[in-house]
Amino acid sequence: MDILGDEPLVDGMTISLRYRRDFVVADAARLLAEARRLHRELQPGADAEAAVTCAADAIYTILQHAGIVGDAVDAELVTPGLELAGWRSQITVNEPEPLRPGYDCLRTGDLFALPPEQA
Give the predicted TM-score (pTM) of the model.
0.77
Identify the three-state secondary structure at position 79.
strand
How many CB atoms are closer than 10 A to CB 71? 9
Q: What are phi and psi of 79, to 5 degrees?
A: -135, 140
Q: What is the pLDDT of residues 26-48, one digit of tens each?
A: 999 999 999 999 999 999 999 99
How many CB atoms are closer than 10 A to CB 5? 6
Radius of gyration of the chain (CA): 17
Q: What is the pLDDT of residues 55-111, one digit of tens each?
A: 999 999 999 999 998 888 888 888 999 898 888 888 888 888 888 887 766 667 787
The enclosing H or E element of 74 equals: helix 71-77
